[in-house]
Amino acid sequence: MEPDYKPHEIEKKWQEKWDESQIFQAEPDEREKFFITIPYPYLNGNLHAGHTRTFTIGDVVARHKRMLGYNVLYPMGFHVTGTPIVGLAELIANRDPQTMDVYERLHGIPGDILPTLDTPEKIVDYFKRESEKAMRNIGYSIDWRRKFTTTDPTYKKFIEWQYTRLEEKGLIVKGSHPVKWCPNDNNPVEDHDILYGEEATIVEYTLIKFRYKDLILPCATLRPETTYGVTNLWVNPDVTYVKAKVTKDGREEFWVVSREAFKKLTFTDRTVEYIEDVPAKSIIGIKLTNPITGDEVISLPASFVKPENGSGIVMSVPAHAPFDYLALRDLYDADLSEYGIAEDLRKIKLISLIKVPDFGEFPAKEIVESMGIENQNDPKAEEATKIIYRREFHGGVLKEITGKYEGQAVSKIKDILTRDFISSNAGETFYEFSEPVVCRCGTPCVVNMVKGQWFLNYSNPEWKAKVYECLSRMRIIPEEYRVEFENKIDWLKDKACARRKGLGTRLPFDKEWLIESLGDSTIYMSYYIIARFIESGDLKLENLTLSFFDYVLLGKGDLAAVSADTGLSPELLKEIRRHFNYWYPVDLRSSGKDLVPNHLLFFLFHHVALFEEDKWPKAIAVNGFVSLEGQKMSKSKGPILTMENAVSHYGADITRMYILSTAEQTQDADWQRTGVESARRQVDRFYSFAKDVIESRKRADLNTELKQIDRWILSRIQKYIRNTNSALDSIQTREAIQNSFFLLINDVKWYQRRGGENLLYYVLDNWVRLMAPFTPHLCEEIWEAMGHKDPISLAQYPLYNEDLIDDSAELAEEVIKGTLEDIEEIIRVTKMTPQMVHLYTAPAWKAKAVRCACDMQREDSLEVGNLIKTLMSNPDLKRFGKEIPKFVQKLVSEFKSGGADRYEVFAGSELDEQALLKESASFLEKEIGCPVEVHSADSPAFDPEKKSRFAEPLRPAIYIEQAKREE
């Protein structure tokens, strides 16, 4: 081994060796298989820290399983379909200043190359090369023979097959679909076209049609159930409203909405005709009919109503909405005569419609009063609204006032009510953005209904039922995300699966349309198995007929007929089918949490639609995002930390270890320079330790007489092995690194500090294998230096051995460490120079009290009174009657607060504290720099300040003689 740790040299060496030996090229064999996939990256930029986290989690799991003896397949492809790459090519061709700056400065594309990437094909080729290079440089154990891009002609055949079969099953239908639209460009917009609002989603509102004479005043709501609790409407007196003739499905109606809402309606699937302006005052103070309850409600003035939100008219539910309650209360003493309103608004009765956990009849009124919210402008009103809405959504149940919906959960009712309200013409759907969206041309975007669109029929109840069945059998990591999946399956509507422009595969049954990019990335995991035969030259484009995919993926069709249709030999067809049957289903899909509501959901829907149950996915793991020094990263705007940049700066292993040790599962990680530099120093220490151990040439011998410190380190390592394996099984990478590295490095320091050396080689042998999934290059280097011929990547991962657990050795070391820390603390606080340290072990009666407490704890009868009574009934202990109550109170308190385990070990072991401390005296003397004497509190030879009375089992009392100052 080199004298100093040089990450880049070591990493290059091992990446070349892995390539030469092809150890990650997986083929079916007799072993149990493990097929793990992660989302293939979208190639409109270099891989960044978010990819680094998700992909490294996948690689660590793959490496761990491989070392546990599984036959692991970890493949990778590239996603390029859709419009973003087309948009990026246009921006580069037009030399858009922001794009040129971000891609040169932050993505690191050389200034002479960037301007040449002016077509989608050139962008795909460039980022495909760069992404593969970055993933190879960070050391992923990927089978690169299986790579593909989603515009490969062979992949398009696979997608055509998928969509042909989905359409045959009636799971693809035609209809209208809402899209983000720029009225100026008269085109749909994708994320790359957006100046701001790229995070915006299209939200489905229900328009409730309140009626006044021959007019309809529609109100948009996300919670149609609250229509049962409406007491009034809110109209902004400063807004200009318009009357419009609205025609849909042959039905004509006259609506009053804000001017802004009128413009939005022109982009919906309605015919909209302007009639005249309507002064706001003319629709304030009027009595309208609630179309659901038949109740009469009044319209009241409210300046908070925004004309650009919904219809510009808002329904008020003061029993359940804090803002509505506050706004109504604020009007109680207002003079509303200018609107012709003379009645006492206090007489408006609140209408309760939801039973809410921890709240009474009127949750909004309750929370406003308990939080002391003064009026609608009080900032606390926002927080109150969030609390009520969260409680109502997750735990609320509808009351009797809602008729046949009584007892239904609020979280499940929206779709049912919207459907029922539409069928009775009391409501309609209306689409809005979750936040404003502005096109790069500067025009505010709208939601436009595109007619004649192809949809995946995700709302089909039979299809959803199969997805629920699949989910119920799956492992979800972390488990608490299961409810997130269930909610999203519930909420998922039909989704457009085709568009007019971009890269991709044409719909086989309507060639004018291209299959949308999320729609063609649902079952591509099965294509990895086929891709290996395409790469080897066994499969050509002309062989990939519908019958080919039916046979190899579904096992359907007559072999001889399929052979004749495809031009492939029956033997090859059977071999591909054998490979598919061996590798499928996917054992683990590991992904970022942003893909739960879309890609991961579609992954489940398409698998259950096409495959038999034994081929359905087995597990999904979800992880959080990565920010950069506290700032959210953006591919198109920055800031961004590319995978390539992190690795070239810090090395692959440090990048891998750091990004996985800063956050757990769905928590978001923050990449901080100081943190990664600290990780570098720790890895340096590990490397130096390994080098010293190897150079000492001293092999561990577990058959010789082991000292206590040896038994201690053996026991500790077993616990780290158990905890690391368990954490990796749950994909808790932070916990795994904590156990396999940070806690272990501290124990190794203590072991060496205590003079331990016999087992250093054993420690290294286990430690290097524990760390191999995280820092594979470094561990390969150390493993080779230890004399191993085979790579550590294929070595046996350490497995827990209970026989090596020694609780009494661990407890003994805990006593020594604790005693040393107590002595050091006294010296630090008193600032004295010690001349001699006296230690007093606990008297025998206290040890008996502990054993008695342990007996009672096991019988579940440990209480202060019980223990005192039992001890006092013992004639040998009665003479300590004055001291017993105080000691028992402290002891029972320690038992209750988690200290029982160590006392159990003490009670069940033959731990002789006096012998232990005498044996460790030389160690303590070396650490403190003065002599140490050990006494028993039962008969101390020297105790000038009666310190021995404070001695307890596992915690000796301490008296320090101060060195006399020289005059």
Does residue 679 form part of some domain? yes
CATH number of the structural domain spanning residue 707: 1.10.730.10
- From CA 8, how far away is CA 408, in angstroms rounded? 61
CATH number of the structural domain spanning residue 496: 3.40.50.620
**What is the chain's mean pLDDT, rounded?**
93
Residues 406 and 295 in one domain: yes
What is the residue type of 634?
Answer: S
Does residue 17 form part of some domain? no
CATH number of the structural domain spanning residue 363: 3.90.740.10
- From CA 815, how far away is CA 957, in angstroms rounded? 12
Q: What is the pLDDT of residue 501?
A: 81
Would you place residue 854 in the very low, low, confident or very high pLDDT band (cuts 50, 70, 90)?
confident
For residue 919, the enclosing domain spans: 818-962
Residues 245 and 322 in one domain: yes
Residues 359 and 224 in one domain: yes
pLDDT tens digit sequence for 699-746: 877 778 889 999 999 999 999 999 999 999 999 999 999 999 999 999
33 is in an annotated binding site: no
Q: Judge whether residue 497 has pLDDT over 60.
A: yes
Does residue 634 form part of some domain? no
Q: For 644-663, what is the mean pLDDT?
A: 95
The more confidently predicted of residues 836 and 966 is 836
| Helix 322-330 with 380-395: angle, nearest 10 deg | 130
Q: What is the pLDDT of residue 191?
A: 63
Does residue 221 form part of some domain? yes
Collect all residues with Cβ–Cβ distance below 8 Å to 898 and sequence separation of at least 6: none
Q: Judge whether residue 150 has pLDDT over 90.
A: yes
- Count of CB atoms situated within 10 Å of the CB of 247: 13
CATH number of the structural domain spanning residue 883: 3.30.2320.20
Collect all residues with Cβ–Cβ distance below 8 Å to 94 and sequence separation of at least 6: none
- Count of CB atoms situated within 10 Å of the CB of 555: 12
The more confidently predicted of residues 909 and 916 is 916
Does residue 911 form part of some domain? yes
Of 65, 20, 59, 64, residue with least CA distance to 37: 59
> What DSSP designation does 83 have?
S
Residues 780 and 828 in one domain: no
pLDDT tens digit sequence for 774-826: 999 999 999 999 999 999 999 999 999 999 999 999 989 999 999 999 999 99
Q: Give the residue from 623, 655, 688 where a domain finishes.
A: 623
Q: Identify the three-state secondary structure at position 902.
A: helix
Of 502, 501, 505, 499, residue with least CA distance to 524: 505
Does residue 8 form part of some domain? no
Q: Give the residue from 370, 400, 433 where a domain finishes.
A: 433
Residue 478, preceding peptide bond in cis (omega within 30° of 0): yes
Would you place residue 963 in the very low, low, confident or very high pLDDT band (cuts 50, 70, 90)?
confident
Residues 735 and 829 in one domain: no
Per the CB < 8 A criterion, the answer to whether 939 and 951 are in contact is no
Would you place residue 647 in the very low, low, confident or very high pLDDT band (cuts 50, 70, 90)?
very high
Q: Identify the three-state secondary structure at position 842.
A: coil
Collect all residues with Cβ–Cβ distance below 8 Å to 404 and sequence separation of at least 6: none
What are the CB-based long-range contacts (under 8 Å, 24+) for 760-764?
760/693, 760/696, 760/698, 760/700, 761/693, 761/698, 761/699, 761/700, 762/700, 762/702, 762/714, 763/693, 763/700, 763/713, 763/717, 764/689, 764/690, 764/693, 764/694
Collect all residues with Cβ–Cβ distance below 8 Å to 824 and sequence separation of at least 6: 927, 928
Does residue 7 form part of some domain? no
Q: For 579-586, what is the mean pLDDT?
A: 98
Q: What percent of the chain has pLDDT over 90?
A: 75
Residues 158 and 219 in one domain: no
Q: How do beta strands 172-182 and 187-188 pair?
A: antiparallel
pLDDT tens digit sequence for 598-646: 899 999 999 999 999 999 999 999 999 898 988 887 766 778 899 999 9
Q: What is the pLDDT of residue 966?
A: 52
Of 717, 593, 722, 598, residue with least CA distance to 664: 593
- From CA 310, how far away is CA 280, in angstroms rounded? 16
Q: What is the pLDDT of residue 965?
A: 60
Would you place residue 888 in the very low, low, confident or very high pLDDT band (cuts 50, 70, 90)?
confident
Q: Judge whether residue 346 has pLDDT over 80.
A: yes
Per the CB < 8 A criterion, the answer to whether 105 and 527 are in contact is no
Per the CB < 8 A criterion, the answer to whether 843 and 938 are in contact is yes
**Number of domains the chain contains:** 4
Of 204, 237, 205, residue with least CA distance to 218: 205
Q: Judge whether residue 168 has pLDDT over 60.
A: yes
pLDDT tens digit sequence for 221-256: 999 999 999 999 999 999 999 999 999 989 999 999
pLDDT tens digit sequence for 414-441: 889 999 999 999 999 999 998 999 987 7
- From CA 676, how far away is CA 671, in angstroms rounded? 8
Would you place residue 893 in the very low, low, confident or very high pLDDT band (cuts 50, 70, 90)?
confident
Please identify which residue in the block is written with the tokens 């109740």: 295
Of 761, 763, 767, residue with least CA distance to 712: 763
Residues 377 and 298 in one domain: yes
Does residue 267 form part of some domain? yes
Residues 730 and 593 in one domain: no
Residues 912 and 865 in one domain: yes
Residues 523 and 486 in one domain: yes
Phi-psi region for residue 484, left (φ > 0), alpha (ψ -120 to 50) or beta?
alpha
Q: What is the pLDDT of residue 967?
A: 44
Residues 576 and 666 in one domain: no
Residues 824 and 791 in one domain: no
Per the CB < 8 A criterion, the answer to whether 455 and 495 are in contact is yes
Q: Judge whether residue 118 has pLDDT over 90.
A: yes
Would you place residue 354 in the very low, low, confident or very high pLDDT band (cuts 50, 70, 90)?
very high
Q: For 485-493, what is the mean pLDDT?
A: 87
> What DSSP designation does 616 have?
S
Residue 639, preceding peptide bond in cis (omega within 30° of 0): yes
pLDDT tens digit sequence for 525-576: 999 999 999 999 999 999 999 999 999 999 999 999 999 999 999 999 999 9
pLDDT tens digit sequence for 175-202: 888 888 888 877 778 766 777 887 788 8
DSSP output for 351-411: ---EE-TT--S-HHHHHHHHTT--STT-THHHHHHHHHHHHHHHH-EE-GGGGGGTT-BHH
